[in-house]
Chains A and B, each alone.
Chain A
Amino acid sequence: MKINLRSPDIVMKLSKLGSFHQSKLSFLRSFLKEFKDWTFKRDLFELNEFGYGTAVYSFKKNNRVYSLICFANKLDENERSDRVIATKWDAAFTLHDGVPTKKDIERLKNEVPKQEIGRLSYKELTLSRANKSVRVFNHVVESLSEGKQPDISLLSSVGYLYRTTAVYGSGKFGLADRFRIKDREEICGPFRLEMMLVYLVRQFTFDQVNHVAKNQNPKKAISLDLEICRNLGIGNSTGLGMAPFIVNHPTLLNNWVLARETILKEIREIKEVKKVDSDFFKKCLKKSIKNITSWTTESEYQQKKIRSLLSDLNNFITFMEKDFNFDNEFAFNEIYKWIEKNSGDECIEYIVSMMMEPYDQIVNPLIKKMSSEEEKYFNIPTNRTVLELKDILENRYKNILKIDFSKSENNQNFWFISKNKEEPRLADRFDEKGSELEQPLAIARDIKKLYEVLSVVKNSLTIDKFLLKNNHLRHVVRRAFIVEKFPYSEIQDNTISKSVVPIDMLRLKLSFFGALKFDPRSDKWLRICMFQGAPLPEQLKSYDDSWVYNSLN
């Protein structure tokens, strides 16, 4: 049986993208799988009794070494902020390409804690900073120093000791450009070095908390139980900085979503599902439920989504146990059709992620196809005609072309770059100043504009001639020709409407990262947890890819 890929008109709606969950495709899982047989080492650990100082961790294989350099500094209570406007953090990190010399560490000690206003070199690959969850960190220090393990319920409710507030890569602030490293086999998947940084930071947080407790009470202190460590991740606060990324990297977005959709299609096309695979699917699904029941948030928007997810999942499990037989042909296709009919987007996308669990042989080849050479598709094919471009718009932007942008609610917001932090922001066009400096992120509006202009020129006109008078639409002409080749490269929604939920854009990206427990703090930023339940570096040799469902929380 031939199953079609799901239509981009459905998949690329923001509400759908904002319901994606982690899966076997997620970057943090594929990173661990790739690095499981690398040698992990703590090369340097020079912290004072309060946990301030420098540490270096590395992954090594053959002649390749990646080193995380950590700088932990004293931070006054009133200086601690997760917001991007902060200028100081509890700790700052960089991932260095190779073994850093003493000179490198001295240089980086001056630059890394400054973050955006510091300068890195081509020898550094990623940059980040993090703040303690003071409540949890202090509780763990106190408990350990008194010879007791900390309160698990407190740890479970937060999920981490530290949370990062930004992770930078790809040439920012002088970091290495991607072209320098893109051909390395071990980092062929997207964001692999960002994932490595976060993973190694997680280990630093455990070492630091143990070190501080030990110094507080050398005779009595014990170390944090390894099983508790494994069940802690790294938090992350993420704001709008991430949102334009998915608009500005269309072919990359396509490759992520296309990989997911291709896998779903191939799984639905399996005629006879082996018992071992259906059992594994059921096992992962059931074990995963505690990741949802332990998912806490104060956001009513997210609470509603979690409630609906849980309720739909319970219905699905009942259906699966009472009314469904995996011996039927094309069983996963039947499951997909059932959830599509009976469940909301959160549950549909959750089950889609779960379906991938038994199928390494389908998933693994696609992981390697998730990167993109964006430059290859930059040039506009100016020998094409207006008619062809119109056809592309009519086929690829059906729903976008129906939007009436003369209505103020469809044109309510604008995206801009803030002067003080050079970060993307969203504001009300009619209430705030600055819309004349709008970023080219209102793709839906500009595509509609392009369509209107195309409608009144000759169909036979070539694009080079069309652009003579219409270069103001050049950025969307380029996109349309990209979308023609890459159907999942465009969000099929209006990113400037009154009703836009920007965190849906963040959620999409974070789900591909492999984040859990999305916790929206407003419609513009959220907190997440990464690597919760992941094996510790010393446990990687016996790596189990379904670790994400083995957490205690």
Chain B
Amino acid sequence: MKSFSEIDTVSKRASRAAGFDWGIAEEVGKNIRMLEMLGLPGIKNLNYYYKVRVKRNFEILNLISEENKSSQLEFCPIIAGVSFLDQVRSLENLNEIRFQSIAYPILFLPFVSRASEVIGKKIHLKIDKREFLLNYGNSIYSNALKNEITTIGNDITIKFIKNVDSFEEKEWKELYKLSENTFVEENESLKESGAGAGLTDND
């Protein structure tokens, strides 16, 4: 089995050899490490993308907007990913961001996952029928975790999930009430002696 350190180093060097700047190659190294750690096919997709890249051109997407349509070529997932990661702070107020045709979209995914960590919000990423919930760069939940190469994502949407509770206030109160059973009811004596400052904590 390859160690994640080897995966990081080889992916970084291969990315440089494929023509990316060192700083971008460093990002790819970290990303492929993340994908493999989470059980997603990073090496497989990167290897195929770099093989195809020798024969075909891909469109560079530098500035991300609400709608990102490629002209004729598919978007390079790495440049699109770097741009998204760099610009995410100015994008997070948009309701939805759409991309048409990103090549090898699994390679785009870790950039979005890291962007979730940067802004401290969960992100919902949809690549055609596959859905991914990206949790602050820590984990990825998905309905599609197959170990396969995905050559294109035709319709990709990104939604920033507001930092709101996933439960009803009533449910919280019920659970909180139960948690109160670990507390001790204070009598007058405990009120005076239990806390450091007693009843005269005025300054």
Contact = CB atoms under 8 A, between A and B. Distances in A.
A175 B86 contact: no
A475 interface: yes
Contact of B24 (A174, A177, A474): A474
Interface of B: 1-6, 13, 21-24, 26, 30, 62-63, 82-83, 85-87, 89-90, 114, 117-118
A476 B26 CA distance: 11
A171 B87 contact: no
B181 to A, nearest CB: 33
Contact of A121 (B1, B85, B86): B1
A475 B20 CA distance: 12
A315 to B, nearest CB: 47
A386 to B, nearest CB: 14
B34 to A, nearest CB: 10
B23 A473 contact: yes
B5 A170 contact: yes
Nearest to B9: A171
Contacts of A109: none
B89 A382 contact: yes
**A-B interface, 5 closest residue pairs, ranked by CB to CB distance from nearest:** A474-B23, A171-B5, A171-B3, A475-B23, A464-B86
A276 B82 CA distance: 59
B5 A471 contact: no
B113 to A, nearest CB: 12
Contact of A174 (B2, B114, B118): B2
A424 to B, nearest CB: 12
A177 B3 contact: yes
A319 B89 CA distance: 60
A179 B2 contact: no
Contacts of A420: none
Contacts of A179: 4
B3 A475 contact: no
A144 to B, nearest CB: 42
B24 to A, nearest CB: 6
Interface in A292-349: none
16 contacts: A121-B1, A171-B3, A173-B6, A174-B1, A174-B3, A177-B3, A177-B4, A379-B85, A463-B86, A464-B89, A468-B62, A468-B83, A472-B23, A473-B23, A475-B26, A478-B23
A444 to B, nearest CB: 15
Given A171-B6, A174-B3, 12 more contacts: A171-B5, A175-B3, A179-B4, A380-B86, A382-B87, A417-B13, A463-B86, A472-B21, A474-B21, A474-B23, A478-B23, A478-B26
B21 A471 contact: yes
B21 A475 contact: yes
Contact of B23 (A375, A379, A471): A471
Contacts of B24: 471, 474
The SS class assigned to the A binding surface is helix
Interface residues of A, number: 33
A44 interface: no
A423 B13 CA distance: 13
B23 A172 contact: no
A477 interface: yes
A477 B3 contact: no
B144 to A, nearest CB: 26
A468 B3 CA distance: 33
Nearest to A471: B21
A226 interface: no
A462 B87 CA distance: 10
A380 B108 CA distance: 18
B5 A122 contact: no
A475 B87 CA distance: 17
Interface in A440-471: 440, 462-464, 467-468, 471
Given A440-B22, A478-B26, A468 B63 contact: yes
A122 B89 CA distance: 38
B3 to A, nearest CB: 3
Interface of A: 121-122, 170-179, 375, 378-380, 382-383, 417, 440, 462-464, 467-468, 471-478
Contacts of A417: 13
B4 A471 contact: no
Given A468-B63, A475-B23, A174 B90 contact: no
A171 B2 CA distance: 8
B23 A378 contact: no
B60 to A, nearest CB: 10
Contacts of B63: 468
Nearest to A379: B118
Contacts of A375: 30
Contacts of B118: 379
A474 B1 contact: no
Given A378-B30, A467-B86, A475 B5 contact: no
A306 B114 CA distance: 50
Interface-central residue, B13, B87, B114, by most chain A CB under 10 Å: B87
A179 B22 CA distance: 24
A178 B33 CA distance: 13
B33 to A, nearest CB: 9
Contact of B89 (A172, A178, A383, A468): A383
Contacts of A464: 86-87, 89-90
A382 B86 contact: yes
A175 B4 CA distance: 10
A552 to B, nearest CB: 41
A381 to B, nearest CB: 9
A497 B22 CA distance: 21
Contacts of B62: 468
Nearest to A375: B30
Contacts of B13: 417
A313 B85 CA distance: 55
A132 B27 CA distance: 43
Contacts of B21: 471-472, 474-475
Contacts of A173: 6
Contacts of B4: 171, 177, 179
A468 B6 CA distance: 29
Contact of A475 (B1, B22, B30, B117): B22
Contacts of B86: 380, 382, 463-464, 467
A187 B3 CA distance: 20
A477 B1 contact: no
Contacts of B1: 121-122, 174
A170 B6 CA distance: 9
A450 to B, nearest CB: 11
Nearest to A380: B86
Contacts of B3: 122, 171-172, 174-177
A378 B23 CA distance: 11
Contacts of B23: 440, 471-478
B6 A174 contact: yes
A440 B12 CA distance: 12
Given A379-B114, A379-B118, A177 B5 contact: yes
